[in-house]
């Protein structure tokens, strides 16, 4: 325990969720790490689509602090912490899982019933000067990777998991609906893996420009995607995999209708709307619809390795203007309006 260290104040500033659209910067007691826990001084924390739903759509738990895409420096450790040291640069990884259920043992810890849901559980997030987490949730940031770029590790791991679920291979065609951060990271990761024929559908101009920069073969608007009228008709330029990253019911319906026979629709965009399912199209063409939740078991390690490789244009994937904690409410409103392309990161 080293909370007596002079650089750790007893109180910290944090963005606290109160109600729909109501996010306030307040003073909270700095958490004290218990056994196997680590206190991290937050350097950067990305704003996730889930965070937007929590605040802008009122999904959050009142009095909670969001933010799970963080990097920072280890500043204090509770008892029984091994393998980490004060001063280490770390990034947040998966929530703890039980390790013994059928899901954990088959390499699908994202489905473990013991695992908390970020933003919904008691989790205190990183839209704050400090975050206190179990040591098992932290990974060390590679030396050649900046803490700012490392803030992309968690959402990149989400994108990589979607690619795993799609089973897409080189030479196949992909469609991404929605070029928000997950759609953009999916595009960048597909290109880095040699999948060159990727079409992006996105209505907002700033995000369309980002998709072009990241190497989309073409960028279209949702209204440009023509859906075949009959369930047995396959579109001329059908896709082997569709990554639905917008959370829009219409995009789910369109994506499903644009698959090749045996193609896969990966659902990654969270949203409250329920699409109409063309069950006949699924049956006739043996389509696969799958969710992609969180990451592969070693997904955050893979994401860190990919970021450290230099194969991703991290400067373009990150929104150029970082968000001071005091401007977080404005940033949430702008992100909700689709005005910001790339991942916006908060600097507490
Ligand atoms: Zn996230
Ligand atoms: Zn488990």
Let me know: does 190 contact 169? Beta carbons within 8 Å: no
pLDDT at 118: 52
pLDDT at 4: 46
Ligand nearest to the CA of 95: 2
Report CA dihedral (261, 272, 327, 130) to the nearest 10 degrees. Answer: -90
- The structural domains of the chain, ordered by start, are 11-151+318-347 (3.90.180.10), 159-291 (3.40.50.720)
* Three-class SS of 303-346: HHHHHHCCCCCHHHHECCCCEEHHHHHHHHHHHHCCCCCCECEE
Average pLDDT for 69-97: 95
The DSSP line for 220-251 is E-GGG-PPPSSTTPPPTT-EEEEEE-S--HHH
Ligand nearest to the CA of 96: 2
User: To the nearest whole number, what is the mean pLDDT of the chain?
Assistant: 93
Let me know: does 141 contact 81? Beta carbons within 8 Å: no
CA of 293 to the centre of ligand 2 (A): 15
CA of 157 to the centre of ligand 2 (A): 19
Average pLDDT for 174-201: 97
Query: Which residues surround the ion ligand 2 when the cut-off is CB under 5 Å?
Result: 97-98, 101, 104, 112
CA of 106 to the centre of ligand 2 (A): 10
Predicted confidence band of residue 138 (pLDDT cuts 50, 70, 90): very high
CA of 335 to the centre of ligand 1 (A): 14
pLDDT at 3: 46
CA of 195 to the centre of ligand 2 (A): 33
pLDDT at 119: 46
Q: Is 252 exposed, middle or buried, given 0-12, 13-18 or 19+ CB atoms closer than 10 A? A: buried
How many CB atoms within 10 Å of residue 43?
22
CA of 94 to the centre of ligand 2 (A): 12
Ligand nearest to the CA of 181: 1
pLDDT at 270: 85
pLDDT at 338: 83
CA of 297 to the centre of ligand 2 (A): 12
CA of 261 to the centre of ligand 1 (A): 32
Q: Which helix (H) or strand (E) holds 213?
A: helix 205-213
Q: Is 70 exceeded by the pLDDT of residue 67?
A: yes
Predicted confidence band of residue 309 (pLDDT cuts 50, 70, 90): very high
CA of 92 to the centre of ligand 1 (A): 11
């Amino acid at each position: 325990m080293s909370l007596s260290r002079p650089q750790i104040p007893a109180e910290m500033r944090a963005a606290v969720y109160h109600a729909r659209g109501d996010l306030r910067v307040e003073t909270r007691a700095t958490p004290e790490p218990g056994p196997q826990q680590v206190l991290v001084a937050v350097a950067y924390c990305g704003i996730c689509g889930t965070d937007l739903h929590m605040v802008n759509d009122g999904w959050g738990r009142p009095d909670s602090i969001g933010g799970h895409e963080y990097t920072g420096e280890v500043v204090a450790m509770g008892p029984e912490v091994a393998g980490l040291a004060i001063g280490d640069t770390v990034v947040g990884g998966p929530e703890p899982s039980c390790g013994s259920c059928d899901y954990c043992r088959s390499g699908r810890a994202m489905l473990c019933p013991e695992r908390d849901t970020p933003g919904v559980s008691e989790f205190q997030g990183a839209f704050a000067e400090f975050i206190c987490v179990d040591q098992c949730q932290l990974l060390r940031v590679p030396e050649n990777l900046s803490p700012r770029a490392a803030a992309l590790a968690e959402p990149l791991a989400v994108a990589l998991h979607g690619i795993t679920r799609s089973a897409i291979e080189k030479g196949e065609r992909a469609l991404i609906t929605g070029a928000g951060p997950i759609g953009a990271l999916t595009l960048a990761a597909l290109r880095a893996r040699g999948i060159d024929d990727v079409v992006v559908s996105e209505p907002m101009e700033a995000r369309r420009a980002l998709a072009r920069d990241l190497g989309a073969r073409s960028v279209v608007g949702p209204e440009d995607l023509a859906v075949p009228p009959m369930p047995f008709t396959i579109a001329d330029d059908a896709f082997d995999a569709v990554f639905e990253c917008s959370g829009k019911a219409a995009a789910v319906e369109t994506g499903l209708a644009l698959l090749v026979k045996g193609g896969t629709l990966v659902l990654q965009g969270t949203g409250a709307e329920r699409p109409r399912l063309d069950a006949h199209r699924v049956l006739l063409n043996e389509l696969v619809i799958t969710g992609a939740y969180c990451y592969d078991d070693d997904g955050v390690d893979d994401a860190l390795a990919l970021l450290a490789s230099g194969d991703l244009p991290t400067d373009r994937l990150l929104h150029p203007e970082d968000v001071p904690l005091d401007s977080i409410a404005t940033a949430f409103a702008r992100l909700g309006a689709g005005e910001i392309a790339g991942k916006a990161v908060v600097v507490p």
